[in-house]
Amino acid sequence: MSSPGNVPVKVVVDRRVKIAEVVLRCLVCGLGVLVAALVGTDTQVKEIFSIEKKAKFTDMKSLLFLVVTNGIVAGYSLIQGIRCVVSMIKGRVLFNKALAWAIFSCDQVMAYVTLAALAAATQSAMLAEEGQVEMQWLKVCGLYGSFCTQIGEGIVAALVVSLTTITISSLSAFNLFRLYGGHKRIKNCGGW
Amino acid sequence: MSSPGNVPVKVVVDRRVKIAEVVLRCLVCGLGVLVAALVGTDTQVKEIFSIEKKAKFTDMKSLLFLVVTNGIVAGYSLIQGIRCVVSMIKGRVLFNKALAWAIFSCDQVMAYVTLAALAAATQSAMLAEEGQVEMQWLKVCGLYGSFCTQIGEGIVAALVVSLTTITISSLSAFNLFRLYGGHKRIKNCGGW
């Protein structure tokens, strides 16, 4: 298996993919925690006609969904990041199809779920910021300004999380599907 | 390139992938048009205190986004479906990396955009169906019942469109990344 002209190319590509994967998974882990913290701790109290009203993230299901999904994706990325580092230290390359399928499937789910959560939260945030006159839904960000600002920061961080998980899902697709290219032919090389 | 034991397996896999791709792209095309038609033509007029009020899909930006994205994905799927059928008739197999990258990228964008549109529209529909007491956003589906039912049908069809585009994006990832597996080694088989 040591073809002098080609193995170095494959090793360099493998190493770059692994390093990129570790960096991206660490980024998702850190930003996922940041999103959960920013949105999950966000509250604002207002006094309206001597009645105290409190805005919190659980008032909107989409924000709760955003916090939960970003918390899960952060934990998952931590575990996957550790797996990547261990396999780099041990010098292992992913050639196990079952494991590659499992990682690919989980990464795909994470990418789609984080994007869905982001889209739903962004839609709610836009309604809160602009209102919807036709539905008689009023702007609430005029009242809860700092609450909305912090949610906005969380959504920007969630956008980066989402784009990064999408990139990771492409990387794991690469790691999986290249196992299906030309390998069967190699076995019969002697017969060519 | 004619290794008797392996080529038939590859040919069978290629044919099945191609057929699956054509069927899925036709499904997306048909359902994409259905979503655009269901949501885009949905209106309901109600008389409230002798004032006529009309609900239409453009009242919510997320529904407009759903119609536009499903219209685009239907047109795109039609073009890609035709390309698949032509390449099946001509017996061509996708070995052009640039084309495979272009198809993969477009399919990824379609999968993520249709999912984002679906998530945003579902969030709006849930708000219309259930309201949001904390924000003083009232249920509007009590008033516009048949309008909301038709939007719901559109959202179910959009869910199938979204799941199908996700499957197609995995197929095109397979078509692209298998081009990166073992090919470089094959060139040097004679030297092994």
B33-45 tens-digit pLDDT: 999 999 999 988 8
Give A-chain residues touching B8 at CB under 8 angstroms.
none
Residue B130 CA to residue B122 CA, distance in Å, equals 12
Q: Of residues B155 and A6, which shows the higher confidence score?
A: B155
Residue type, B117: A
Are B180 and A178 a contacting pair at CB < 8 A? yes
Chosen from B61, B94, B106, B134 to mutate, greatest number of chain A CBs within 10 A: B134
Nearest to A136 among B6, B138, B189 (CB): B138
B178, B161, B132, B17: which is closest to A128 by C-alpha? B132
Q: Mind giving me the DSSP string for A36-76?
A: HHHHHT-EEEEEETTEEEEEEGGGSHHHHHHHHHHHHHHHH
Are B184 and A10 a contacting pair at CB < 8 A? yes
Residue of A nearest to B54 (CA): A134
Q: What's the mean pLDDT when you consider all of chain A?
A: 87
Helix, strand, or coil here: B139? coil
Q: Is A183 on the interface with B (CB under 8 A)?
A: yes
pLDDT above 50: residue A45: yes
pLDDT at A90: 85
Q: Is B54 on the interface with A (CB under 8 A)?
A: no
Q: How confident is the model at residue A1 (pLDDT cuts 50, 70, 90)?
A: very low
Are B3 and A115 a contacting pair at CB < 8 A? no
Report the DSSP beta bridge partners of residue B56: B43
Residue B37 CA to residue B33 CA, distance in Å, equals 6
pLDDT at B1: 44
Q: Are A108 and A169 in contact (CB under 8 A)?
A: yes
Q: What is the mean pLDDT of residues A145-154?
A: 94
pLDDT at A93: 67
Residue A143 CA to residue B88 CA, distance in Å, equals 60
Instruction: Encode pLDDT of A56-92 as tens digits.
Output: 999 899 999 999 999 999 999 999 999 999 988 887 7
Residues 101-160 in B contacting A (C-alpha not used; CB under 8 Å): 108, 111-112, 115-120, 122-124, 126-128, 132, 134-138, 140
* Residue B142, phi then psi, degrees to nearest 5: -65, -35
Q: What is the mean pLDDT of residues A185-191?
A: 34
Residues of chain B with pLDDT under 50: 1-3, 183-192
Q: Is B170 on the interface with A (CB under 8 A)?
A: yes
Nearest to A120 among B9, B119, B135 (CB): B119
A34, A89, A91, A95: which is closest to A66 by C-alpha? A34
Residue B8 CA to residue A191 CA, distance in Å, equals 16
Q: What's this model's pTM, rounded to 2 decimal places?
A: 0.86
Q: Is A177 on the interface with B (CB under 8 A)?
A: yes
Residue type, A150: Q
Least confident residue range of A5-14, A125-134, A148-157, B86-95: A5-14
Contacts of B20 by beta carbon, 8 Å cutoff, 6+ apart: B171
Helical ranges in A131-190 per DSSP H: 145-177, 183-187
Residue A166 CA to residue B188 CA, distance in Å, equals 35
Q: How confident is the model at residue A147 (pLDDT cuts 50, 70, 90)?
A: very high
Q: Is A59 on the interface with B (CB under 8 A)?
A: yes
Q: What is the mean pLDDT of residues A86-106?
A: 85
Q: How confident is the model at residue A15 (pLDDT cuts 50, 70, 90)?
A: confident
Distances (CA, A) of B166 to A190, B71, B173: 39, 17, 11
Q: Residue B75 is encoded by which pair of tokens?
A: 């047109």
Residue B133 CA to residue B131 CA, distance in Å, equals 6
